[in-house]
């Protein structure tokens, strides 16, 4: 479901940009059944043609029709779905990390496949695969990302992934985008990976781009 929602978000972002729409709404009931029906508002160009083009690109079977939920609400929905489902899996690994210091990484690919990678003490090597969502465990009790984590998260967001969660034994911090990454966002994100202070890097991401962070 997470991969499906990520593809839906990227599909709708492309529709809005290509047809120059002011807003799109999705049918939340059909979305919960992994089907997409949407309504586009204030479009300057042909939505039907855009739908045909981007349906193939993102592997989404989409239909024009009704909608009752704005695109902007879908971003939080992905994080909420992760919290209800996959988080239970990674929390088991967070217990191991607390005991051994060895970190674990959970990745969700755009085609729906997932994987868990075992790292080393205080470090895990991230596979270079296009991912729509990911999470990893931290040995500390506070889920503050490292500068290396910020770089990984930035790459995921720029590659149109949705977000990443830093998980500890008790808490989790979700860092995710709430819209398409613009050119100005991209420039800010590139600048954050060069910083030497993780708190300033994270603060700049949140205050100056479409990136949002919240505890879950």
Give me the pLDDT at residue 33, please. Answer: 94
Half-sphere exposure of 194 (CA within 13 A, CB side): 5
User: Are residues 188 and 205 in contact, defined by beta-carbon separation less than 8 angstroms?
Assistant: yes
User: Bridge partners of 145?
Assistant: none
pLDDT of residue 175: 98
CATH class of the structural domain 78-215? alpha beta
Res 162: pLDDT: 98
Q: What is the CA radius of gyration of the chain?
A: 18
DSSP class of residue 13? H
Task: Please state, in angstroms and rounded to a whole number, the distance separating the CA atoms of residues 111 and 104.
Answer: 21
Divide the 216 residues of the chain into consecutive groups of 10 and give the mean pLDDT of each group: 97 98 97 96 96 95 96 97 95 94 96 93 80 95 91 94 96 97 94 88 94 96
Q: Where are the domains of the chain?
A: 2-70, 78-215
Query: Residue 120 has what pLDDT?
Result: 86
């Amino acid at each position: 479901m997470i991969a499906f929602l990520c593809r839906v978000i990227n599909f709708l972002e492309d529709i809005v940009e290509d047809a120059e729409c002011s807003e799109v709404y999705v049918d939340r009931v059909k979305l919960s059944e992994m089907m997409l029906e949407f309504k586009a508002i204030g479009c300057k160009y042909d939505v039907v043609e855009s739908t045909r083009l981007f349906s193939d690109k993102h592997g989404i079977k989409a239909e024009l029709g009704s909608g009752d939920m704005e695109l902007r609400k879908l971003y939080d929905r992905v994080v909420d779905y992760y919290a209800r489902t996959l988080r239970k899996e990674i929390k088991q690994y967070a217990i191991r990390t607390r005991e051994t210091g060895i970190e674990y990484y959970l990745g969700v690919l755009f085609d729906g496949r997932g994987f868990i990678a075992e790292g080393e003490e205080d470090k895990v090597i991230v596979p270079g695969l296009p991912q729509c969502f990911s999470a990893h465990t931290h040995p500390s009790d506070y889920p503050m990302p490292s500068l290396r984590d910020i770089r990984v998260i930035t790459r995921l967001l720029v590659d149109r992934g949705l977000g990443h969660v830093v998980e500890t034994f008790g808490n989790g911090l979700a860092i995710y985008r709430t819209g398409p990454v613009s050119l100005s966002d991209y420039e800010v994100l590139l600048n954050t990976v060069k910083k030497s202070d993780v708190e300033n890097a994270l603060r700049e991401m949140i205050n100056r781009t479409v990136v949002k962070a919240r505890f879950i």
